[in-house]
Amino acid sequence: MRSRTYPTHVLALSALLALAACGPTPLATVAFTSHADGAVILGDRTLTLSADLSHVSHGATITVSGDALIHGMERSGDVLELDVTLKDNANTITVTVAGPGEPAPATATILLHYPFVTLGRQQAASTVIGQRGFDATDEAADDKRFLAPRGRPVVADGVLYLPDYGAGRVMGYLQVPTANDAAADFVLGKAAFEDTGSTIGPAAFSGPQTLESDGQRLFSLDYHWNRILVYEEAPATSGAAATHVIGQAGFTSSDGGATATRFDSVEGFTIGGDRLIVADSGNNRVLIWNSVPTEVDTPADLVLGQADMGSNAANGGGSVGPSGLHYPSDVWSDGTRLVVVDMNNHRVLVWNSFPTVDDAPADVVLGQVDFTSNGAGQTASGLNGPYGVHSNGNQLFVADASNNRVLVWNGFPTENGQAADVVLGQPDFDGWSPSTSVTGLRFPTSVYGHGNQLFVGDLGSQRYVLFEGADP
């Protein structure tokens, strides 16, 4: 990841305060009160910060520095207010109070995160993983190549994990590559990079797709064996074994089905807050566990797309509407909002607050003008076989596979049929032609935003490409 330098904005304010009539003068203090250190800011990136000032001496000077844009500040008594506009991702802001007679300046520093990737239309990718260059399409399963990279990657504690669906493995990189044709450092699902065996168990995959992490554990979807493998500690060595399994009675079973404990042909899942949310594609439904299961055969708590846990008909057995699903392929949630890719209905469904009852209807539909339409489209507001979805809380990213593009909404969508703001992989919103190039895509199936980077799983070109956010 390239480093970015931001100008420091410094403002000074002379602070007048009457001296105490008698006794020792207390030391000056400053503390932020409006926001917690490390807070994640969603919505408007322009905000007002408040800090409390105490015991500031006569003639003291207050300075504010940081890598956010500081528009100005105002003091009223012991309260200091700062108007700031946050840059993408990390923002450090420091208030310093220095005055005569003070043994040392009083300071307070706060870190605010504004998750955002500033992307341009038809932006060129910065790095390709899995190929020698942006125009190559090799298909050799070694430590540098992929066979059908189908699912969503994840970065956990700085380690990048990339699913290699066709080769039955997950490729691990101890740091995110910054140059093309990088070799993986370790492999999961196989004993070594050269291993081609496929024996069911805790250390083997048959079609790994979506990956997830909760900051400690690593989760891997295993498509053909109808399960999710869980590593209690995200591994960084080849051949590591999972610690437990979800969706099966044990590591050696692979039963499918439409029950509260089984799923079939799952394409995607996510961890949203404490919840496990599974796109049970073959059963035309989404299964929700209110907490991640730690024991085998723990039943799901909620189902979407069907009236009960035993049903699996497309669109709930009826016409397309706000609650039915037809092959949902991916999900995302922050624990409050929920987004589901409804692939065969050519749409994305959004729940503004997390559903609490079975078969709850969505609040917003993207890709269609209303909840009863399901035609394919290739405009800024249309979708054609969307496959993957991800969000950083401020932006929504959708892999619009059959249109050979990724759509980006720079604000979380709130209206039916809302148009996207940015397209990647095509010269404009009307284009759909596949291309293996630095600006083109060929059937992208996954998308993942991490910090200032956007990862795209470009299935048709046997590669992952990274897009680097520009300076905001």
* Three-class secondary structure of residue 82 per DSSP: strand
Same domain, 110 and 194: no
For residue 388, the surrounding DSSP H or E stretch is strand 386-391
Q: What is the pLDDT of residues 317-330, one digit of tens each?
A: 999 999 999 999 99
Same domain, 109 and 135: no
- The tokens describing 269, both together, are 């899942």
Q: Among 83, 114, 145, where does a domain finish?
A: 114
DSSP designation for 154 = E
- The tokens describing 171, both together, are 């490729």
165 is a domain residue: yes
Give the number of residues written for the chain: 472
Angle at 16 between CA 14 and CA 22, to 5 degrees: 140
CB-based contact 256:226 (threshold 8 Å): yes
CB-based contact 126:454 (threshold 8 Å): no
Q: Is the pLDDT at 30 greater than 70, yes or no?
A: yes
What mean pLDDT is reported for the chain? Answer: 92
Q: What is the pLDDT of residues 286-313, one digit of tens each?
A: 999 999 999 999 999 999 999 999 999 9
**CA-based end-to-end distance of the chain:** 16
Same domain, 84 and 161: no
Same domain, 272 and 310: yes
The boundaries of the domain holding residue 164 are 127-468
Distance CA 228, CA 205 (A): 10
DSSP designation for 41 = P
Q: What is the pLDDT of residues 180-195, one digit of tens each?
A: 999 999 999 999 999 9
* Three-class secondary structure of residue 402 per DSSP: helix
Q: Among 72, 90, 114, where does a domain finish?
A: 114
Q: Is the pLDDT at 2 greater than 50, yes or no?
A: no
Who has greater pLDDT, 139 or 386?
386
207 is a domain residue: yes
221 is a domain residue: yes
pLDDT of residue 373: 98
**Residue range 58-77: average pLDDT?**
90
**Residue range 84-105: average pLDDT?**
89
Same domain, 307 and 389: yes
Q: What is the pTM of this model?
A: 0.93
pLDDT > 90: what percent of the chain?
86
pLDDT of residue 404: 98
121 is a domain residue: no
DSSP designation for 297 = T
Same domain, 103 and 131: no
Q: What is the pLDDT of residues 421-452, one digit of tens each?
A: 999 999 999 999 999 999 999 999 999 999 99
Distance CA 114, CA 43 (A): 9
Q: Is the pLDDT at 97 greater than 60, yes or no?
A: yes
Q: What is the pLDDT of residues 347-357, one digit of tens each?
A: 999 999 999 99
Q: What does residue 344 show for φ and ψ, rounded to 5 degrees?
A: -75, -10
pLDDT of residue 103: 76
What is the domain-level CATH number for residue 18? Answer: 2.60.40.10
Distance CA 73, CA 34 (A): 14
What is the domain-level CATH number for residue 431? Answer: 2.120.10.30
For residue 5, count other CB atoms closer than 10 A to its CB: 7
CB-based contact 162:170 (threshold 8 Å): yes
Distance CA 332, CA 353 (A): 13
Same domain, 367 and 295: yes
3 is a domain residue: no
Dihedral sign, CA of 75, 76, 77, 82?
Answer: negative
1 is a domain residue: no
Q: Which of 73, 25, 81, 78 is nearest to 54 (CA)?
A: 78
Q: Which of 84-98, 133-147, 152-166, 250-264 has the lowest mean pLDDT?
A: 133-147
- The tokens describing 315, both together, are 């669109």
Model confidence at 19, pLDDT cuts 50, 70, 90, reads: very low
Same domain, 25 and 171: no
Q: Is the pLDDT at 118 greater than 60, yes or no?
A: yes
CA separation, residue 138 to residues 78, 148, 187, 359, 460 (Å) = 65, 11, 19, 44, 11
Same domain, 104 and 212: no
Q: Is the pLDDT at 175 greater than 70, yes or no?
A: yes
Q: Residue with structure tokens 């409804």?
A: 342
234 is a domain residue: yes
Same domain, 283 and 400: yes
Same domain, 96 and 136: no
Q: Among 70, 92, 114, where does a domain finish?
A: 114
Q: For residues 369-402, b (16+ Cβ closer than 10 Å) or e, as one string?
A: eebebbebbbebbbbbbbbbbbbbbbbbbbbbbb
Looking only at the bridges linking them, the beta strands covering 39-40 and 106-114 are parallel
Total tally of structural domains belonging to the chain: 2
Q: What is the pLDDT of residues 375-385, one digit of tens each?
A: 999 999 999 99
Q: Residue with structure tokens 């723990």?
A: 298
357 is a domain residue: yes
Same domain, 22 and 89: yes
